[in-house]
Amino acid sequence: MNLIKDHAFTLTLFGKAILFEPVSQRLKVYDLPDRNLLDLFIKKLKKLAFEKGCDKLIFYVRRHEQPLINPYATRYEGKIAGFFNGEDAHIYALFLHSGQYNTRLTQEEKNVFRLVKHKQGKGPSHCFKLPSGFFMRWAVPEDINQMVTLYKTVFKSYPTPMNDPAFIRKMMDDGVYFLVVEHDRRIVSACSAELLPEFKAAELSDCATYRKHRKKQLLSYQVAHLLPRVKDLGVRTIFSYSRSVSSGMNLVNAKHGFHFGGRMLRNSNICGRLENMNIWYKNL
């Protein structure tokens, strides 16, 4: 069992890699076994989840695998078009302890949707300028302590240990690309792109801005520069999971032409609780 860069553990079951994410109490499967092994695989996977204290199993499957997983998974949560080297990933969930959750949108989630639907694709022409006194650049190891302070301040809890300097350093060493924005020589905003080279995909993540500097389009500016960078690195699809009750990153994704892919229920331990996450994706 090896710790990897996104603070998860890789486990092996029937020769397939299983991603164990303890903070958010979930197991992720990107590759199903042969049909004749699937019953036993799911049985062993459930046993593993109970042993690890996980409530949620998440399956990323290709279109031809959907009939195989349908009898086992309890909920279709959405898709990331082009995730598997140009082939769509369909996302299914199986909840073990809590059963089915309410799938209706809360009023907060409805408000976010109303706000972002008018912004879809309307940008990022206005995002290419930073306010006076702000400066963007790629992060370096000397920035880590300031980045830790930023993440500690913005998030009460987070799926990965961004409050640990050693963790951020390992992410940088493992090829996660961070952009930061400075004001008065202090980092006030940051985001990252984490590459999944085996799929030619990347996750837009670790987006944070101090409250006093929000509504200045800092993250929009950073994303506008991340997209061509990851495309040059061979990424075909970039995706993002955004808190369904928070307008910030949902707006950024919509303005940059990301497509809404669905909603993952009780998916990520962020801001002190397990929250629903909106799926966004963009083909480059």
Q: In 3D, which of 113, 56, 11 has the Cα closest to residue 275? A: 56
**Cis ω on the peptide bond leading into residue 124 (within 30° of 0)?**
yes
Q: Of 73, 95, 117, which closes a domain?
A: 95
Q: Could you please report the per-residue DSSP string of 29-64?
A: ESS---GGGHHHHHHHHHHHHHHHT--EEEEEE-GG
Q: Of 70, 95, 120, which closes a domain?
A: 95
Same domain, 170 and 75: no
Question: Structurally, how many domains does the chain consist of?
Answer: 2
Domain assignment of residue 213, yes or no: yes
Q: What is the pLDDT of residues 119-163, one digit of tens each?
A: 676 665 555 689 999 999 999 999 999 999 999 999 987 888 888
Q: What is the CATH number of the domain that holds 240?
A: 3.40.630.30
Q: Of 95, 118, 141, which closes a domain?
A: 95
Domain assignment of residue 12, yes or no: yes
Same domain, 76 and 141: no
Domain assignment of residue 101, yes or no: no
- Whole-model pTM: value is 0.91
Q: What is the pLDDT of residues 268-280, one digit of tens each?
A: 878 777 889 999 9
Same domain, 86 and 122: no
Predicted local distance difference test score (pLDDT) of residue 118: 72
